[in-house]
Amino acid sequence: MPSIRVGAVNYLNSKPLVEGLTEFAGDLDLSLDLPSRLADQMAAHELEVGLIPVIEFLRAESYSFIPNIGITSHGPVLSVTLFSRVPWKDVRTVSLDEGSRTSAALTRILLEHRHRLTPQYRQLPIDEPAEAVSTDAVLLIGDRAMKACLPGFEFAYDLGHEWNEWTGLPMVFALWAVREGVDLASSEVAFAQAKQLGLRRAGVIATREAAALGLDAGFCRRYLTNIIRYDLGPRELAGLRRYHELAADLGAAPRGTNLVHYHRPHLVESRQR
């Protein structure tokens, strides 16, 4: 049986979803990489399945997703923060972390749709310290960003919280995308098994990962257990649909992408697209 190539972002919050994944299904070949590279590898047919940011899922237009598994927040997310020198209403210039297009689009959604602003954007190069930016606000994301304190910025807006407060819905950051026509066969269940194991081993994962990240193990456990949520049910999908509409309005995602659950191709006669 040929192996199924699986890619995931190498972030702390993805660890519980890949815990033991290759042990539950021997034909899965797992690699960890940057979000943008994963999307490219999916497009180039170098991966069959990818734990990818939702904006990449929407942009690809042709992927389905494994049901009930996602990286989401229902309030503060702690790892996606818009640091600002001024309150929302006065933000005129914004630096955007190159790391995630999903959070960059979320920033635009909140600025342009929620607060009806039309600020100027620039990219924050990965090697430029955020403290040094001259813009009113700077978006930081991911593991490195969790450690950012930036006392010089009076405001630190948690975009998971801001999204939830505005829409009343969870924010979905990533999900398991499956390339069109791929048959996971019996390996499909491994993704659910890995998630279940990962959630129960959150303390072990936190202990293991904290030192390499330069973060406190207790904080990592709270982040994985009490902040990030891994279910993808009706509420989360409603949040994802709302995000999709708003991102499409800004031209940050194509309008037509359907959200389709993965089904084994031979089990369904016609797959809705």
The reply on whether position 131 binds a copy of itself by CB under 8 A is: no
Token reading at 87: 């309150």
CB of 205 to a copy of itself, least distance (A): 8
The reply on whether position 186 binds a copy of itself by CB under 8 A is: no
* Cα–Cα distance, 147 to 145 (Å, whole number): 5
Using CB under 8 A, which of the segments 39-47, 95-103, 196-204, 261-269 binds a copy of itself? 196-204
Closest CA to 101 of 9, 6, 229, 228: 9
The reply on whether position 203 binds a copy of itself by CB under 8 A is: yes
Q: Which residues contact 183 (CB under 8 A, 6 or more apart)?
A: 264, 265, 266
Q: What angle (nearest 5°) sits at the alpha carbon of residue 153, between those of residues 211 and 129?
A: 55
DSSP for residue 88: G
Among 6, 21, 105, 215, binds a copy of itself (CB under 8 A): 215
| CA atoms 106, 109, 110, 114: torsion sign | negative
The footprint of a copy of itself on residues 72-91 (CB under 8 A) is 74-76, 78, 81
**C-alpha distances in Å from residue 115, one per residue of 88, 91, 119, 143, 166:** 7, 10, 11, 27, 10
CB of 123 to a copy of itself, least distance (A): 22
The reply on whether position 247 binds a copy of itself by CB under 8 A is: no
The reply on whether position 133 binds a copy of itself by CB under 8 A is: no
* Chain Cα centroid distance, residue 129: 23
Of 56 and 162, which has the nearer Cβ to a copy of itself?
162
The reply on whether position 202 binds a copy of itself by CB under 8 A is: yes
Using CB under 8 A, which of the segments 3-11, 46-54, 218-226, 241-249 binds a copy of itself? 218-226
Residue 261 burial by Cβ neighbours in a 10 Å radius (0-12, 13-18, 19+): middle
Using CB under 8 A, which of the segments 12-20, 48-56, 184-192, 222-230 binds a copy of itself? 222-230
Closest CA to 56 of 175, 145, 192: 175
* Cα–Cα distance, 84 to 213 (Å, whole number): 25
Using CB under 8 A, which of the segments 22-30, 91-99, 116-124, 149-157 binds a copy of itself? 149-157
CB-facing half-sphere around the CA of 62: CA atoms within 13 A: 9
CB of 79 to a copy of itself, least distance (A): 9
Among 189, 204, 211, 250, binds a copy of itself (CB under 8 A): 204
CB of 136 to a copy of itself, least distance (A): 15
CB of 165 to a copy of itself, least distance (A): 10
Q: Summarize as ranges the residues that interact with a copy of itself (CB under 8 A).
A: 74-76, 78, 81, 145-156, 158, 161, 200-204, 206-207, 210, 214-222, 225-227
